[in-house]
Amino acid sequence: MKKCCILLIALCLLAGCTPLLEREYSTVEPHSSKLWESEAAGTLRAENYQDIVNDLLILIGQHTETATLRLYNVDNKLQAADLLERATVEVQQETPMGAYAVEYITSSSQAQRGYYEVEIRISYRRTLEQIQAVVNATSPEALYALLDTALTEERTELAVRVGYWSPENGQTQVEEALSRVREERGLLERPMWPVLYYPDGGPVGLIEFLLDQEVPPEEMEAVDGQAELGEEQSPEESAENEEKIGSKG
């Protein structure tokens, strides 16, 4: 039997069937198994600062509002509180999804034998449907097709996570894609749609187009102050700009 199998494989290779034997298999896992406790269903674990950040991003991706995390390798409650505070600030201010979806994150910890048990609470400014609707693009060059599809589907907003962002011409590519699709659809006479970049003031990882809202040209500079990459806004300025956008909806 073994000789027959070898003979069949050899004949297949000679006959040009190589692609059949070169299939690529891939699996998609929603999270790394090392970030979950094996004996406590639904409980996350963290052994260092980066694990905490990764745990929070898992929760945000699932739009989880409350969760339990076990924090190991921590000497005292002060150290635990410091790690949690720094991680929550990084996720909210420096990660694309955190900056886009999260209103605030709070945590409280309690010492247990060998670890700290942390209760996480996350308040969102985006719904689960909005988070799930975020699409991926390797670079801003793919934005034209995504915008065109969004308009065809009559979507009111489009959020795109970009895998690569060029500080030199990334925003220019976004504006060119937007202008191209508006020109082809005969929308140049209509006021420009708001475009928001996340995170604010850092390398862009997510771009949001509000296709159902219009901002008059004279207000674009104020509303799109966030789009001036490299210039950080104060909390007061960000709140004022969001209020302006909301008033147009």
Query: What pLDDT does residue 214 have?
Result: 63
Rounded to two decimals, the pTM is 0.71
- Is the pLDDT at 23 greater than 50? The verdict is no
Under the banding of pLDDT at 50, 70 and 90, the label for residue 231 is very low
Query: What pLDDT does residue 33 have?
Result: 60
In contact, 210 and 196? CB cutoff 8 Å: yes
Query: What pLDDT does residue 141 have?
Result: 83
Under the banding of pLDDT at 50, 70 and 90, the label for residue 32 is low
Query: What pLDDT does residue 188 have?
Result: 87
Pairing of strands 43-46, 157-162: unpaired
Distance CA 114, CA 216 (A): 58
Distance CA 210, CA 230 (A): 22
Task: Give, to the nearest 10 degrees, the angle between helix 77-94 and helix 49-61.
Answer: 50
- Is the pLDDT at 16 greater than 60? The verdict is no
Average pLDDT for residues 182-187, to the nearest whole number?
92
Give the rounded distance of the alpha carbon of 158 from its chain centre. Answer: 13
Distance CA 14, CA 11 (A): 5
Task: Point out the least confidently predicted range of 24-33, 41-50, 142-151.
Answer: 24-33
Query: What pLDDT does residue 133 have?
Result: 96
